[in-house]
Structure 1
């Protein structure tokens, strides 16, 4: 009997270790089973996501006097006898969250997490799963590539870069040309955002495999140009960069179709403002516009008013040229919701045709991933 009991214990220990992603942790409340976040570095066990979507964070800093977790809300971490600081958060909403560790007042990225460019700096991130995330899961389908392309900007007089998604099979058929979506990130992020935080390649791989979207190139643009993303001078510089540098480079070096019905322009937050500015007055270049979690800001030195005047004088042309003017928000909790509603009211007065959509979640990446998922299905058909 003792031998059987011993063998049972050994088998139990082995079964707990056979899957390093699911482990048991002792936190301030009780012992719970959790799953390592997919955004962790390699085999890092923490951050650990509990079944109720709370998360456990660890950091080893034996000499520190005070350690906090900044996850939008700040949490004080508690040190154990081994010099490891730990905290369990409140239940977190689905999707991607930036976070920072504050060690004796100094903000650092968590060495256990992948880092992402967001909040205008490198930050840690945690991915909280949810039932509806299957559309950007890695599946057994044909996968495209994400390529990085450097180009010289005649606008900024510097070398810049774009990230480009090419669909599966792009290199196989050298005679096939593709439509292209130019896609912009939000403030505090850069051209990497849609690829890493946004899961663009996985979303398109799955849509194309299911024949829900046309095979297309997606050019992920760096919208950080000029002296600030929302100023009129920066918007003008962005428009010039797009028309004079990015589109010519893409159309010269990649197999893309070059007429307006095969070009789309979209962006989130700051990128949505850039889409409005560069897209509405250039409908001869783009037949599809997507504005995610955005709307004209007040006090932009008359930029919105000037566009409204242009739209008033060109409403028939805009409505004729645009096959889709798709505007989406993350519900009433989206920080851009009020500005967007004011803008849409103005569009109604000007008789501008558009499609409006909401997906709950506020001003966050789960919303924008869902926006891309839905917008991509409307393109080039």
Structure 2
């Protein structure tokens, strides 16, 4: 091995190693812990970058900051500068944190990079974020416990309306394979930038359902998580698109095609799995774009779902969306109301950029004497809220 190659190898190893002590750079990669969660639930982040001028931690554990997004100025994750020592180790220790699942990444001289010492990352659209949990409270629902676990599978279904086979994820409750019992179904829809994997990754849907069912807080149910990007057969990396760079809104998004084709999913699920029949055994819910889809699917098929959940939902279609699904909205809502529902549930954060749209939609429902339950939480358009909404919505079903 040449001296040049040896030097490069040593540099590569050292670049992936923050340290437990600010004054030492450990020789063994496995000795590095970042993030390091302490007994009092404070967390130390460490990043090794001797040539960097600045290293920032960006995370939802920090007070939110105003950021510019495609939807205008919103609250985003906060940021803080790490402190650098003489060895090029940058560190930051948080205050004690409440129980939650947190996400974070670094800005190294303005370039976004994940933590090289943490393999726990989720993808949303074309970006990845590191994650960790603080237990002892709400986040206990998001962790795998020593309980009976359901089964998660990915299956393909024929969608005659779209004209292709498409991929979806399915959660079967513990005991499904060993019984002849029939189960109700929750159809759970992702937001823009997501796919059929999003609720399982960011949303921790399987862990939430396992823990709710095992504790007796929720009835056993099948949870179906389809891909709401109607132009795709499967999410990026899983379908025929392969490893293309994901885009936030693929072609044909929110144009009515997904809503119109949704009955293909219902028909497939009820033919493939042991399902209790009737709308009293069907629920549908979704976040953001998935909330938009939920609102319009449940209205377009007004006698199909007895339980509807809008989580930080987009409401009105785009001006250029002319699909049949979006005609006669008020008329369809009245039919849906007259058919009767057991639960129409709306959740939104006070700082969500869709808060005003949801307020206006509630006014529309009030004018129609359409009954609903309303849950207003803190913060904005974030997974923290959507996981909480699922954990509160699921126990109300069936």
Shorter-chain TM-score bucket reads 0.7 to 0.9
Q: Does 1:67 align with 2:43?
A: no
Task: State which of 314, 337, 343 in structure 1 corresponds to 2:361.
Answer: 343
Q: Does 1:48 align with 2:53?
A: no
The number of aligned residues is 341
Change (3 A) 1:230 1:257: farther
Q: Does the 8 Å contact 2:254/2:293 carry over to 1?
A: no
Q: Does 1:251 align with 2:257?
A: no
Quote the residue 1:117 is aligned against: 123
Quote the residue 2:307 is aligned against: 288
Quote the residue 2:222 is aligned against: 217
Question: C-alpha deviations, 1:196-229, integer Å up to 9, x for none?
Answer: 2222222222222233322110011222335975
Q: Does the 8 Å contact 1:230/1:273 carry over to 2?
A: no
Distance in 1 separating the partners of 2:49 and 2:198: 30
Q: Does 1:326 align with 2:345?
A: yes
Q: Does 1:375 align with 2:393?
A: yes
Distance in 2 separating the partners of 1:152 and 1:110: 40
Question: C-alpha deviations, 1:183-202, integer Å up to 9, x for none?
Answer: 01222222222212222222
Helix, strand or coil at the partner of 1:377: helix
Change (3 A) 1:132 1:121: closer
Question: C-alpha deviations, 1:225-280, integer Å up to 9, x for none?
Answer: 35975998634121134222x22332232222343221111001121111011112
User: 1:195-214 maps to which residues of 2 (within 5 A)?
Assistant: 195-214=200-219
Quote the residue 2:46 is aligned against: 58
User: What is the CA-CA distance between 1:134 and the residue it aligns to?
Assistant: 3.7
Query: TM-score if structure 1 supplies the norm length?
Result: 0.76
Distance in 1 separating the partners of 2:311 and 2:274: 27
Distance in 2 separating the partners of 1:151 and 1:247: 10
Distance in 1 separating the partners of 2:251 and 2:279: 27
Q: Does 1:161 align with 2:167?
A: yes
Quote the residue 1:86 is aligned against: 91
User: What is the CA-CA distance between 1:92 and the residue it aligns to?
Assistant: 5.9
Helix, strand or coil at the partner of 2:396: coil
Q: Does the 8 Å contact 2:98/2:134 carry over to 1?
A: yes
Change (3 A) 1:86 1:153: farther
Q: Does the 8 Å contact 2:99/2:138 carry over to 1?
A: no
User: What is the CA-CA distance between 1:47 and the residue it aligns to?
Assistant: 1.1
Question: C-alpha deviations, 1:48-103, integer Å up to 9, x for none?
Answer: 34567653221233444543333323333343344333233567665233322233
Q: Which runs of 5+ in 1 are unaligned?
A: 1-23, 29-41
Quote the residue 1:263 is aligned against: 282
Question: C-alpha deviations, 1:137-162, integer Å up to 9, x for none?
Answer: 44333211222223455566665422
Query: TM-score if structure 2 supplies the norm length?
Result: 0.73
User: What is the CA-CA distance between 1:349 and the residue it aligns to?
Assistant: 0.8
Task: State which of 330, 334, 348 in structure 2 corresponds to 1:311.
Answer: 330
